[in-house]
């Protein structure tokens, strides 16, 4: 099948269009594809639930808030910042120990601060140095690379680059991402029994009320979902089915309608375009991919 087309219409006239590649995996097998299932791209923040698995493995008792914020791309809401502070306290760390860049003068406010706090906590538990925990040569990142490769079912560590927050990011095919999230959703990965229930219980902590991953988790109880920069979205289910989506132009705008179309979520298939007065002047809608 062709990639999913997501149309942006204003006043009934097509203003622009996005193409979204997507894949459905059941177990190890690709069962449906819209566009290129083999498209290789970086997971970006969609990898956070996998990275958080190490945190769940090394601590026997963690609050749902701690695990959810470790897997989060947060919006610096008060409850999200409190969760980051709680997780930092696990390793007797402070904001100064976070190696993400500041946002509005605060490293806590960076949307990846929860992931960084979780990595500091893993380093404390394993006796690894905290300084440079984000870098490819650190033992933490080496273990995460092995974990990601195993989850995706690839034999060698995936290609890497540097993410927006300074941590290592991994390049996988869409099929590999979907496979990893299918295994995550089915809790077939060590640590998933902690991470998945936390994300499912606290979807708004993971991203935010208007974000696609949060809306997917709220619409499909039990599903685990996470978005990533440059138009990535991954979803996993308890039966081992996984989905991965990637907008060809890197925009996040078409992900909701595309996800709504392939996951049968009516409330996501179409979203309004509003002007600065709050008036609805158009729509973003998934079209038949053919």
If you search the block for the tokens 């893993």, which residue do you land on?
122
Residue 290 has pLDDT above 80, yes or no: no
Which pLDDT does position 288 carry in this prediction? Answer: 63
Domains of the chain by residue range: 4-287
d(CA 40, CA 270): 27
The per-residue pLDDT for range 133-187, each reduced to its tens digit, is 999 999 999 999 999 999 999 988 899 999 999 999 999 999 999 999 999 999 9
Note the helical H segments in 11-70.
48-51, 53-58, 64-70
What Å distances lie between residue 189 and 152, 178, 183, 240, 255, CA to CA?
Answer: 11, 14, 6, 11, 26
The per-residue pLDDT for range 204-255, each reduced to its tens digit, is 999 999 999 999 999 999 999 999 999 999 999 999 999 999 999 999 999 9
What is the value of pTM for the model shown? 0.95
The residues near 229 (Cβ < 8 Å, ≥ 6 apart) are 44, 45, 163, 164, 250
Residue 96 has pLDDT above 60, yes or no: yes
Q: Give the torsion through C-alpha atoms of 251, 154, 192, 263, to 10 deg.
A: 40
Note the helical H segments in 72-191.
78-90, 113-126, 139-152, 174-185
d(CA 164, CA 205): 20
Domain 4-287 is found in CATH 3.40.710: yes
The per-residue pLDDT for range 187-201, each reduced to its tens digit, is 999 999 999 999 999
Q: What is the mean pLDDT of residues 17-44?
A: 97
The per-residue pLDDT for range 111-129, each reduced to its tens digit, is 999 999 999 999 999 999 9
Percent of the chain with pLDDT strictly greater than 90: 96
**Interior angle at CA 48, CA 45 and CA 50, nearest 5:** 135
Residues 27 and 16: beta-carbon distance below 8 Å: no
């Amino acid at each position: 099948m062709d990639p999913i087309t997501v149309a942006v219409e204003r006043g009934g006239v097509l203003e622009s269009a996005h193409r979204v590649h997507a894949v459905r995996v059941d177990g190890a097998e690709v069962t449906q594809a819209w566009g290129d299932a083999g498209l290789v791209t970086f997971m970006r923040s969609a990898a956070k639930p996998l990275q958080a698995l190490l945190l769940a493995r090394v601590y026997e008792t963690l609050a749902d808030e701690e695990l959810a914020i470790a897997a989060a791309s947060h919006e610096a809401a008060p409850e999200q910042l409190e969760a980051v502070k709680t997780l930092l306290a696990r390793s007797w760390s402070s904001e100064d120990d976070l190696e993400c860049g500041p946002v509005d003068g605060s490293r806590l406010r960076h949307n990846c601060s929860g992931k960084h706090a979780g990595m500091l906590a893993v380093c404390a538990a394993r006796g690894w140095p905290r300084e440079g925990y984000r870098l490819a040569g650190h033992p933490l990142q080496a273990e995460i690379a092995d974990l990601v490769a195993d989850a995706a079912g690839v034999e060698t560590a995936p290609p890497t680059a540097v993410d927006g927050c300074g941590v290592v990011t991994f390049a996988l095919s869409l099929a590999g991402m979907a496979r990893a999230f299918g295994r995550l959703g089915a809790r077939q990965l060590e640590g998933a029994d902690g991470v998945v229930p936390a994300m499912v219980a606290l979807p708004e902590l993971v991203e935010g009320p208007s974000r696609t991953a949060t809306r997917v988790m709220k619409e499909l109880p039990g599903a685990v979902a996470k978005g990533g920069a440059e138009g990535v979205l991954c979803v996993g289910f308890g039966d081992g089915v996984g989905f991965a989506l990637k907008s060809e132009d890197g925009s996040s705008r078409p992900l909701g309608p595309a996800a709504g179309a392939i996951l049968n979520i009516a409330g996501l298939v179409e979203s309004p375009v509003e002007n600065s007065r709050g008036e609805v002047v158009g729509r973003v809608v998934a079209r038949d991919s053919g």
